[in-house]
Chain A
Amino acid sequence: MNIEIILHAGLATGTILLFAAIGEIFAERSGILNLGVEGMMLLGAMAGFSTSLATGNAWVGLIVAMLAGGILSLAHGLVTIHFQADQVVSGLSLTFLGTGLALVLGEGLTGQHPPTIPIVDIPLLSQIPFLGPVLFSEHSLLVYVGYIFAPMAAYYVYKTRPGMHLRAVGEKPSAADTLGISVYGVRYFYTFVGGMLAGLAGATISLSVSPGWYSTQTTSGQGWIAVGLVIFAQWNPIRAAFGGYLFGMLRRFILDLQGPALLFGFANPLYVNSNYGFFLQMMPFVLTIIALVWGSRAATKKRLGAPAALGVPYIRGERGL
């Protein structure tokens, strides 16, 4: 067990959650709850993987993955924005749809080796003691993109005019409408953005963090964890990024517990009987539950919460939000 390795690996796996959770934050900030993240991620992972295989270029794969996630999310947009269907059920069906499409189209991809996203060191920064090896060396380029992306997303949401429009549509669509902001347009746009980022998160798995296509095992519930992370992060991109990294590190730490024969001077039960590993595999999900309970209590205390119009369809000229 090595602290540097745990931190390093945590940043890499955390990047997956970072993209997916920030994408979901964009969608939810506009008032659209999209529970289809898992499906969009899986479709993105498959699309990116197969495109990279076909074209020999991982970057093209990444773009196709984002388009795949985005286009799939538009189905959710159409059903919830125009048809005013229930967002929970629509999101769930998006997960079924994405999973089904990914499995059908991904038939026979297992065991292939397409080009992946390059792993690089950042010159100079990687020389810093301790921080250098953890933060700035031997990471996939996508991890560095994540570093920059999270603060940019936060700046966009809180400090720019379109970001203010986004928040307005999610908090009080009728007021936004009177200001001449297109509520439907904004919602479609950020649903699409959320889908693209979920697709990117999927491709981050299949083309970078753990390259390969293992059908539903590729994402193994991380899309759902990302949805939980959004609540934990209270719809703040920076908190989502830190939450994602923390989660990745804890996950790696728990896995590494299986390594040593002795733990604090006692025989390590996980080492003696590998079946106890099943309890370790539960931990990410247990942690998500704990994080959610903790986050929900903090939110109630501070009276912070979801965007007011989250999950509520907007119909012009009707009473409501």
Chain B
Amino acid sequence: MNLPYTVIFEKRTADYPKWLPAVTSLLSVIVAFIISGIVLKIIGGDPLRVLKFFFTATFGSWAVFSDTMVKATPLIMVGLACAVAFKMKLWNIGAEGQFYMGAFFSSLVVLVPMVNLETTPKFIVIALMMIMGMIGGAIWGFIPGYLKAKYQVNEIIITLMLNYIALYWNNFWIFDKWSDAGFQMTPQFEKIAWLPRLSDLAKEYKAFSGITLHLGVVFGIIAAIIIWWILERSHWGYEIKLIGDNPQAARYAGLNITKNLILVMMLSGALAGLAGMSEISGVVHRLQEKISPGYGFTGIIVAWLAKLNPFAVIIVSILFGALIVAGREIQPSGLSNLLQGIILFMVISSDVLLRYKIRLVRLEQEA
């Protein structure tokens, strides 16, 4: 069969238009939804019903939208953690472990306890928990950063291994030392260690009753602003991006790559750790086994879909928060995992559109 047209891939010589990345990301998500729908149809599901359920269960009312935002909150911080590291082409796949270490360290404030919980003002307890959470995550980021800087050890594998180690470390403490009467969780934290929630204001404002959105979302937004400032406005951010784009040039320019490498891994870890703290203090109110449905891994997809732009991370996080909320109830249970995988695949495939112009050309013209 001879088609009168042919497809030509033409390398872009000029920069692509500014709106193009947003469009390709959006298209990737839509295509991913369609492919997942086809998969669902093949295994005997009803894609349209699931899609309708997805929207009503996540954006249908203020109450469910608040649920979506609660799930988006840790994703914002974890997404930022990945975005910062990826900017320097540091593959931090360990946000999940850093999240758990953040949760563990911030729990120490209450469980040890590090301060007198009766007399200390609430904001000091919360601030201390935030600092501890960030320290925990930063330590878990320091290890791979140091090993890479010092011994050129591949950070991908190390961060992944540390994920598993963090999980077992947490398990030991909740099964053993701080187990609540033999259950696999610690006792519930005192109210002083809870992040304020909108539902706390239900007495004054009726509309807020049952709205579980907590202060953590503000941490996320502030973190996004700070990260944006660091990357786009500060000298350090310029160094990070230069090392990421062209390590050779950065070395010739005399930048301290070792130091930056370790610092960026620690910053990345600290952000993921803060997410762990916010989840512990804002939602779960205790340390337990399953505090994350894989936030650390979803954060990787969030960062990539947002093209490493801190503000886009917030928007993408809301979509993925919705996926997690809906995913809990959609059968079969692996479907939201599958959808996430397909989305990421579509996003990286669509990057080809940023590098090439694709044109349909009449064959006679060519000849």
Contacts and interface: CB of A to CB of B under 8 A. Distances in A.
A84 B348 CA distance: 9
Interface in A88-147: 88-90, 92-107
Nearest to A273: B176
Nearest to B160: A224
A90 B345 CA distance: 7
Given A75-B345, A84-B355, A103-B334, A285 B153 contact: no
A282 B338 CA distance: 28
A89 B169 CA distance: 28
B133 to A, nearest CB: 22
A273 B176 CA distance: 9
B341 A96 contact: yes
Contacts of A60: none
Nearest to A221: B164
A92 B161 contact: no
B157 A288 contact: yes
Given A92-B93, A288-B161, A100 B151 contact: no
A195 to B, nearest CB: 15
A96 B164 CA distance: 17
Chain B interface helix/strand/loop/mixed = helix
Nearest to B148: A296
A282 B172 CA distance: 11
Contacts of B160: 221, 224
B352 interface: yes
Contacts of B176: 273, 275
Interface in A276-314: 276, 278-279, 281-282, 285-286, 288-289, 292-293, 296-297, 300
Interface residues of A, number: 49
A67 interface: no
Contacts of A35: 156
B157 A228 contact: yes
A86 interface: yes
Contacts, number: 140
Interface string B151-170: 11110111011101100110
B352 A85 contact: yes
A274 to B, nearest CB: 9
Interface residues of B, number: 46
Interface stretch (B187-195, B297-305, B359-367): B297-305
B301 A275 contact: no
Nearest to B170: A278
B66 interface: no
A297 B154 CA distance: 12
Contacts of A282: 164-165, 168-169
B338 A279 contact: no
A105 B43 contact: yes
A285 B159 CA distance: 10
A152 interface: no
Contacts of B156: 35, 88, 227
A101 B352 contact: no
A54 interface: no
A92 B157 contact: no
B349 A104 contact: no
Given A103-B337, A103-B338, A278 B345 contact: no
Nearest to B300: A92
B169 A300 contact: no
Interface of B: 39, 43, 91, 93, 147, 151-154, 156-158, 160-162, 164-165, 168-169, 171-172, 175-176, 297, 300-301, 304, 331-342, 344-345, 348-349, 351-352, 355
27 contacts: A85-B348, A86-B348, A88-B156, A89-B344, A89-B348, A93-B344, A94-B341, A96-B337, A99-B334, A100-B338, A103-B332, A103-B334, A103-B338, A107-B332, A224-B160, A228-B154, A276-B172, A282-B164, A282-B168, A282-B169, A285-B164, A288-B157, A289-B157, A289-B161, A292-B153, A296-B153, A297-B151
